[in-house]
């Protein structure tokens, strides 16, 4: 199984500042079709998860451009610039390249 390891697990942030979350996979997430199916999700307190980023760096509709994803192979990063209060929550990376699908442990972002 592809083990997904996130760091840090807790991330205190200051409003208006930037924040970065790392996600590392135990194996390459490059699919045989050439795509890399690395996904970032946001779960606000009391809510269901919401997809933010797919295929490493593609933002979903309605996601502010303050969120950006980057990386390749086994190392990936979610960056939030100009953090706002609504960004508080837990962020998960997930791989959809291999079976079984696996998630990182989650990173709790708090102000």
Partner 1 sequence: EVQMWESGGGLGQPGGPLRLSCAASGYTFSQHAINWVRQAPGKGLEWVSLISDNGDATYYADSVRGRFIISRDNSKGTVSLQMNSLRVEDTAVYYCVRSNFVDYWGQGTLVTVSS
- Residues within the interface to partner 1 (CB under 8 A): 37, 39, 41, 43, 48-51, 54-55, 60, 90, 92, 94, 96, 99-106
Q: Min. distance of Cβ 49 from partner 1 in angstroms?
A: 5
| CA torsion angle 92 60 78 64 (round to 10) | -120
Which tokens sit at 90?
């837990």
Q: Which is nearer to partner 1, 51 or 66 (CB)?
A: 51
Q: Min. distance of Cβ 45 from partner 1 in angstroms?
A: 12
Q: Min. distance of Cβ 103 from partner 1 in angstroms?
A: 5
CB 5 within 8 A of CB 103: no
CA-to-CA distance for 53 and 9, rounded, in angstroms?
19
Q: Which is nearer to partner 1, 81 or 103 (CB)?
A: 103
Phi, psi of 68 (to 5 degrees): -145, 145
Q: Which is nearer to partner 1, 43 or 81 (CB)?
A: 43
CA-to-CA distance for 95 and 2, rounded, in angstroms?
8
Q: Min. distance of Cβ 26 from partner 1 in angstroms?
A: 16
């Amino acid at each position: 199984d592809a083990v997904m390891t996130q760091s840090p697990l807790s991330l205190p942030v200051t409003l208006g500042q930037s924040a970065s979350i790392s996600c590392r996979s135990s194996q390459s997430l490059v699919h045989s079709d050439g795509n890399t199916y690395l996904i970032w999700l946001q779960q606000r307190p009391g809510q269901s998860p919401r997809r933010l980023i797919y295929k490493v760096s593609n933002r979903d509709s309605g996601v502010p451009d303050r969120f950006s994803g980057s990386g390749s192979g086994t190392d990936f990063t979610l960056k939030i610039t100009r953090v706002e209060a609504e960004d508080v929550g837990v962020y998960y990376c997930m791989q959809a390249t291999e079976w079984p699908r696996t998630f990182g442990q989650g990173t709790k972002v708090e102000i």
